[in-house]
Amino acid sequence: MKHQTRKNRGGSSKGTSKGISLIETVNECFTKDGFDCTIIDTYLLVRHEASLCFQLNFTPTCIEVDNVNRCSIKGTGSYLLRKLWECVQQSYLRFQQNTDIKIKIDASVLNISGAKKVRAISLSILYMLTTPEAWSWYNSLGFLESDFASHQAYIREYRSQLETDKKIKKIHPECNTVEECMRAAFTRIKELGKKESLTIDEKKEIDKYADYVAIHDKMLSKQIPNKYLNLVRKTET
């Protein structure tokens, strides 16, 4: 099968299909912001500094987002998704076409080197355990699953039962409460994640955090599995 490939085209399509108009508009929006874009059929691949940022699939009902990666200093996950939302809003003003953005699977993680291997620390779990809203990283950017309200209630109840948790206090003995310890852990993980290289002690520290987060990831994934599926941000009109 021969695929149609177009690269770095800023103008809108001459075709009449709304889907093609939308993909061209988003392509133009990212290209003007310094990203390198390639259209392959219904897919738009967005790169920055030669690294893949994410892949977008333009379906008749929505834009499906796959593999959000931090592709450069500029191309953080948060920046990419906010930029995509800006591009979709521009498309709505241009074509009066409602277009939802869908995250099929929440796989948001921080990949940081541990003592023996790279550890994938769930960004969603860190957000759910530390934010006042009890929401995931994608939730904080406006992407909601169908059972969002009930999930929030469950996570708040889950968090209330952690006040007797001694594991996190062993990592952060200076804290007075589990909630305070978790916020301190999240801050420390982000600090370590920004460093170009880690010492052996820092890598061991990462291992402790990764093991702790994995426990809660396993528990919450079992109790609310739909928390991680089909998160949608709807066009605001």
Q: What is the pLDDT of residues 110-157, one digit of tens each?
A: 889 888 899 999 999 999 999 988 899 999 999 999 999 999 999 999
Q: Enter the DSSP assignment of 142.
A: T
Same domain flag for 93 and 182: no
CA dihedral 44, 62, 136, 203 (to 10 degrees): -20
CA dihedral 90, 57, 31, 236 (to 10 degrees): 20
Same domain flag for 16 and 100: yes
Within a domain: 88:
yes
Q: How many structural domains comprise the chain?
A: 2
- Taking alpha carbons only, the member of 106, 19, 15 closest to residue 63 is 19
pTM here? Answer: 0.82
Same domain flag for 77 and 135: no
Q: What are the structure tokens assigned to 215, written together?
A: 């426990």
**Domain boundary at 81, 105, 129, which?**
105
User: pLDDT tens per residue, the chain (237 residues)?
Assistant: 444 455 544 433 333 344 457 899 999 999 999 999 999 999 999 999 999 999 999 998 899 999 898 898 899 999 999 999 999 988 877 766 778 999 999 989 988 988 889 999 999 999 999 998 889 999 999 999 999 999 999 999 999 988 888 899 999 999 988 889 999 999 999 999 888 899 999 999 999 999 999 999 999 999 998 898 999 998 764
Q: How many CA within 13 A on the CB side of residue 160?
A: 6
> Sign of the CA dihedral 235, 126, 202, 181?
positive
Question: What is the domain range of residue 99?
Answer: 5-105
**Domain boundary at 105, 135, 164, which?**
105
